[in-house]
Amino acid sequence: MTLQAPAPVTPSLRSQRLAAMRAGELGSVHSWELVTAVDGPGTRLTVFLSGCPLRCLYCHNPDMLEMKDGEPVTAEQILARVRRYLPVFRATSGGLTLSGGEVLMQPAFAARVLRGAKEMGVHTTLDTSGFLGANLTDRMLADTDLVLLDVKSGDPDTYRRVTGGELAPTLAFGRRLARAGLRDAGGRAPEVWVRFVLVPGLTDDVKNVERVAAYVAELNEIRPGTVTRVEVLPFHQMGRYKWAALGRTYALDATQPPSAELTERVRDQFRAHGLKTY
């Protein structure tokens, strides 16, 4: 569901909006949709926030990369929609998923929405690359039931080629999630599902996959049960038209989706580390 066109922005209104965004009362939102068994368990209201610090070659939401391209939406507007779907969430064991873009580009807004959802007893999910994991406060962590952690590569050079960013922040974020559940850290931590996008010729190298799998297994060594699910997501071309519409060069225009054999080989690499993999 897309949002209505915004009203003209005057300097005064712009100042008010910036203050509201700093307070977490207002966010830049691209869209939202009600989906089942995609972004967490049950039927979920997935809210896509605008803005992302990474520039993934295979990004299928390039229209969400800039915060300025989103629409101003209040936290209360999001929470009002959550209230509307409470019966659906209860019937399906679903809930709210904050996605993007990158949610942690707008931590104050995300924090307010997560807190409001938890006050209603709603299951909450955060979909993130972990690159801005330092923006996640302990309070937000306590209000998050599930993290969908997108580990894009296990090799720093490959990660840089894929995203334009550095791998280290994601690795540190995952380890923080694992340690958060230890008794001396309070014992409260979200469940983690790791996602890995399989792109032929880019992320499919055996050593690269092995490094991702070993890292995920390490999280379960830190705290058994941290990662309950790994999703190997085959690359697709469904977002290619968006790049063209935005007038941007799409580097993977000629890349084909992985074969069933390649996908199964990669899933088997994760399974060899004792990871439940789909």
Q: Nearest Cα to 198, choosing from 156, 152, 157?
A: 152
- Helices 260-271 and 206-222, interaxial angle, to 10°? 30
User: What average pLDDT does the structure give for the chain?
Assistant: 93
Beta carbons of 54 and 101 less than 8 angstroms apart: no
Written as six digits, the tokens of 73 are: 């939406």
What φ, ψ does residue 60 adopt, rounded to 5°? Answer: -100, 5
SS3 for 115?
Answer: helix
191-245 tens-digit pLDDT = 999 999 999 999 999 999 999 999 999 999 999 999 999 999 999 998 888 998 8
Distance CA 225, CA 146 (A): 13
- Side chain identity, residue 48: F
What number is the average pLDDT over the span 256-278?
Answer: 98
Q: What is the rounded distance in angstroms from the CA atom of residue 159 to the CA atom of residue 167?
A: 6
Which pLDDT tens digit goes with each residue over 49-59? 999 999 999 99
Strands 71-74 and 26-36: antiparallel
Q: Could you report how far apart the first and last alpha carbons of the chain are, in Å?
A: 28
Q: What is the model's pTM?
A: 0.92
Which residue has 């032929």 as its token pair?
200
What residue spans of 95-239 are helical by DSSP H?
Answer: 107-119, 138-142, 156-163, 168-180, 206-222
Distance of alpha carbon 198 from alpha carbon 255, whole angstroms? 11
Q: For residue 20, name the pLDDT band (cuts at 50, 70, 90).
A: confident
Q: Tokens 């803005």: give the residue.
A: 51
Contacts of 115 (CB under 8 A, 6+ apart): 139, 143
Contact yes or no for 178/134 (Cβ under 8 A): no
* Interatomic CA distance for residues 256 and 207, integer angstroms: 21
- Chain centroid, CA 6 distance in Å: 26
Residue 75's identity, in one-letter code, is A
Q: How confident is the model at residue 182, as a pLDDT? A: 80
Rounded distance, CA 88 to CA 64, Å?
27
Phi, psi of 58 (to 5 degrees): -100, 10
Q: Given a cut of 90, is residue 23 above it in pLDDT?
A: no
Task: Indicate the SS3 state at residue 192.
Answer: strand
pLDDT mean over 84-102: 97
CA distances from 271 to 208, 210, 217, 263, 265 (A): 15, 11, 10, 12, 10
